[in-house]
Amino acid sequence: MPELPDVEIFTRYFNKTSLSQTITSVEVFRTRILRCSSFKALRERLDGSRFVSAERYGKYLFARIGKDGYLVFHFGMTGSLCYFRGKEIPRSTRFMIDFVHDARLAFVDPRVFGKVDFTESVQDYVKEKRLGPDAMNVGLATFKSIIQASGRPIKAELMDQKRIAGIGNIYSDEILFQSGVAPTDRSNKLDDGQLADIYRNMKKVLKAAIAKHADPDALPKKYYLLPHRGKEEECPRGCGHIKRIKVSGRTAYYCPACQK
């Protein structure tokens, strides 16, 4: 499932490929991905317009349409973007934007859990969805106050988009491994030192993942859990085997020796 590093890469890809080109048409192939009230109104906004920038908040990509609001992408479990030329439409394309000079941007989503929406304001959309602070931009004091207010397992707290926006199942495991904290530890039982470690490693892990183009297996195998994220895989620190458990209904991988 795309998490913050993936969406950051998609945003950079969008900015590199899809800005300052006149939109000639918009097509939707699976209407269930649309969250805006009217596809006709969305198409009228986009036709003849140009994207001027794109930004990320949590797991959402906001593409600015001139001065006329933002096209919003949420990538669900399997969504991605593909910029291409020609008539060969990528398989599992659910939404497509045609530009001049035979260029196209496809929203590809095999499992159709993604969303395409429209908003006049990023801030209003974040408020409407009740998203917490973005994981890359939240300050330490705010982070501590959010986490300490909950008695849930820390893994569930990190993954709750209404608490901290951007972290999902995969990177929460890595953040907690780097911090030496078990995924089942109660958030309100963690001390200031542990919370500071989680905060620091959250930033470190997300930056490292972005640098590796959001490929978890490309992270250094000697130091990171994710290339070994599987039941009975060896801990990268040589402390034993990785274990798999359920935390708040989600699968968690961790090292019992390193994360007591």
pLDDT in tens, the chain (260 residues): 899 999 999 999 999 999 999 999 999 999 999 998 789 999 999 999 999 999 999 999 999 998 789 999 999 999 999 999 998 999 999 999 999 999 999 999 999 999 999 999 999 999 999 999 999 999 999 999 999 999 999 999 999 999 999 999 999 999 999 999 999 999 999 999 999 999 999 999 999 999 999 999 999 999 999 999 987 899 999 999 999 999 999 999 999 999 98
Show the domains of the chain with their CATH numbers. Answer: 4-128 (3.20.190.10), 140-254 (1.10.8.50)
**Alpha-carbon distance 111 to 171, whole Å?**
21
Q: What residue type is assigned to position 36 of the chain?
A: C
**Alpha-carbon distance 79 to 181, whole Å?**
31
